[in-house]
Amino acid sequence: MQKLIADLKASNIGEIRTNERLAPYTTWKIGGPADCLIIPHSKEQVAASIKFLHERGVPWTVIGRGSNLLVGDKGIRGVVIKLGQALDTLRFEGAMVYAGGSYSFIKLSVLAAKEGLTGLEFASGIPGSVGGAVYMNAGAHGSDVSRILKQAEVILDTGELVVMQTEDLQYAYRHSILHTLPGIVTEAVFELQVGDRNEIAGAMAAYRDRRLRTQPLQLACAGSVFRNPEGGFAAKLIEEAGLKGKRVGGAEISMLHANFIVNTGEATAEDVLTLINEVQQIVEQMYGIKLVPEVLVMGER
């Protein structure tokens, strides 16, 4: 690893940090160290990093804004690539929106609304990056990324830069081909529609007010923990099972929203994983439904 780190530092592919604790890079504020963290400063450095690691057979993991992500307490072995300013770009060309992979999905929705463009209102409460939203087919309020995405620029794990059309991504509920085809979304192109600014603002205000009333946004969390089962809602099942407020260590099922697990201050990844497992077991015993987590779990326990 020391030889690899020395070679990385000599390769001009961004900032290199060793044994870097990952908790500060996640919205759950949980996670052990990465053996090596690369913070590229440009798209070219992102591609160069991937190519460098591919040529040497070194495993790597990518993180964006760290939402919807649980990093194990022992951290992540190998190399972690942290996307930041390198892909924090945005431009509008009429109703077409070009957003960098690390751009805030919420901020994107707000600025699109100011441009009088409709289609991204659902994103106003979805934390994380554009790249993460494309990867997960993020959605809310009856819409999702697949409905507005025109194409995505992706750096594959070989370092090759490709452009993938919406159909190439094989979208399903909270799923894309990128779950099995490793790569980094460097830019997404969204096709929106011109709308009424007042109507767009009204819809987003209503979504915002509902979030503030029903979600524990003042505490460290990762958004919804479980996917909604077909024809139902995970939060409803968890609440009806009497699990609101259930706690393991520093992890607690929110009293505001049963599909949120919050870090009350000192939660570990093991606390969260234990709580997830207990919720799954109880809900399955009571309703015969196995809840499926939609958070990404990375690293060692």
Separation CA 56–CA 103 (nearest Å): 30
| Active-site annotation holder among 121, 174, 176, 187 | 174
Residue of 102, 109, 146, 224 marked catalytic: 224
Distance, C-alpha 59 to centroid of its chain: 20
- DSSP at 259: T
Structure tokens at 77: 């072995």
Give CA separation, 56 vs 8, 20, 59, 272, in Å.
11, 22, 9, 34
Nearest of 52, 67, 183 to residue 123 by alpha carbon: 67
Cβ atoms of 261 and 275 within 8 Å: the answer is yes
Residues 6+ apart with CB under 8 A from 35: 1, 18, 19, 75, 76, 77, 78, 79
CA pair distance 208, 188, nearest whole angstrom = 24
Q: Would residue 174 show up in a list of annotated catalytic residues for this protein? A: yes
Our answer to whether residue 294 is catalytic in this structure is: yes
CA pair distance 120, 190, nearest whole angstrom: 9
Token pair recorded at residue 132: 């993460």
The CA distance from 112 to 34, in Å, is 35
Beta-bridged to residue 172, according to DSSP, are: 175
240: left (phi over 0), alpha (psi -120 to 50) or beta: alpha
Catalytic residues: 174, 224, 294
